[in-house]
């Protein structure tokens, strides 16, 4: 199996998984790189190349078996088993993420949220995830074999939280704090930068406004 799979490939695999699950739910039995590509807004060569990283699944002239390919992609993504997840930070964002559709299904299980606020500790999110004291971080990681964490603390608190998570053995982190803490090799951190999303949308408004607004140079 080839190593060093690029990050964008792993993201596309997740998209393929959703498309394949939709096809399977719609009782589609076979598909093609063209069909998958169209649903993902990609080109078919890209889809074929991504799947080739992990060995060939398709049969030339016939295409892909939907159920088989979905299982294979789920396996590649490690979603053929349960992944316990810890959320650090039980504020609005942490609570929202704990209850987010999809974070407690399809392979993931939110073990607990961690916080330092006594008013939050002992409560549960709407969907029932418990809020535990931050001191229990190491114990919870060990007890549940947690390997994934989500960071939803304010920016200044994030670097120390990351250090503790890494020391406790966590190897994958989804970071919502607007900072980029340094981690050792072998630890994967993904940053979700919501401001980038909003800013890049703003571009389209600016583009339209550009049509009639030349007075800035006047």
Helices within the chain (DSSP H only): 7-25, 33-40, 44-52, 66-76, 92-98, 137-144, 158-168, 194-212
Does the CA dihedral 70-73-75-79 come out positive or negative? Answer: negative
Near its own copies by CB under 8 A: residue from 108, 124, 144, 159? 108
Number of neighbours of residue 212 by Cβ within 10 angstroms = 7
Q: How far apart are CA 26 and CA 52, in angstroms?
A: 26
21: contact with its own copies by CB under 8 A: no
Beta bridge partners of 83: 108
103: contact with its own copies by CB under 8 A: yes
201: contact with its own copies by CB under 8 A: yes
197: contact with its own copies by CB under 8 A: yes
Using CB under 8 A, which residues numbered 27 to 46 contact its own copies?
Answer: none
Near its own copies by CB under 8 A: residue from 93, 129, 158, 161? 93
Near its own copies by CB under 8 A: residue from 185, 204, 212, 215? 204
What is the rounded (10 degree) CA torsion for 13, 78, 109, 67? 60
Using CB under 8 A, which residues numbered 123 to 162 contact its own copies?
Answer: 125-126, 147-148, 150, 154-155
- Output the smallest distance, CB 71 to its own copies, in A: 11
Near its own copies by CB under 8 A: residue from 79, 116, 157, 168? 79
What's the CA angle centered on 60, arms 55 and 61, to 5 degrees? 155
Per CB under 8 A, which region of 56-64, 77-85, 111-119, 157-165 contacts its own copies? 77-85
What's the CA angle centered on 170, arms 78 and 140, to 5 degrees? 105
Per CB under 8 A, which region of 25-33, 56-64, 113-121, 192-200 contacts its own copies? 192-200
92: contact with its own copies by CB under 8 A: yes
Does the CA dihedral 132-161-4-37 come out positive or negative? Answer: positive
Question: What does the binding site for its own copies look like in residue numbers (CB under 8 A)?
Answer: 1, 3, 5, 7, 10-11, 13-15, 17-18, 75-79, 83, 85, 91-93, 95-97, 99-103, 106-108, 125-126, 147-148, 150, 154-155, 171-174, 178, 188, 190, 192, 194-210
């Amino acid at each position: 199996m080839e190593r060093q799979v690029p990050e964008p490939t792993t993201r596309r695999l997740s998209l393929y998984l959703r498309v394949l699950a939709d096809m399977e739910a719609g009782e589609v039995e076979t598909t093609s790189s063209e069909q998958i590509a169209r649903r993902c807004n990609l080109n078919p060569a890209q889809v074929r190349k991504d799947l080739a990283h992990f060995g060939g699944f398709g049969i030339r002239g016939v295409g892909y078996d939907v159920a088989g390919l979905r299982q294979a992609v789920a396996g590649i993504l490690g979603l053929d088993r349960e992944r316990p997840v810890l959320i650090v930070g039980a504020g609005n964002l942490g609570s929202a993420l704990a209850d987010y559709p999809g974070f407690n299904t399809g392979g993931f299980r939110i073990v607990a949220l961690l916080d330092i606020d006594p008013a939050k500790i002992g409560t549960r999110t709407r969907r029932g995830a418990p809020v535990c004291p931050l001191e229990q971080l190491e114990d919870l990681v060990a007890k549940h074999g947690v390997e994934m964490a989500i960071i939803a603390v304010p920016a200044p608190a994030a670097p120390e939280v990351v250090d503790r998570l890494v020391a406790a053995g966590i190897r994958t982190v989804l970071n919502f704090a607007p900072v980029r803490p340094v981690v050792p090799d072998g630890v994967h951190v993904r940053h979700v930068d919501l401001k980038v999303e909003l800013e890049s949308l703003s571009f389209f408004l600016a583009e339209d406004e550009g049509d009639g607004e030349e007075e800035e140079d006047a």
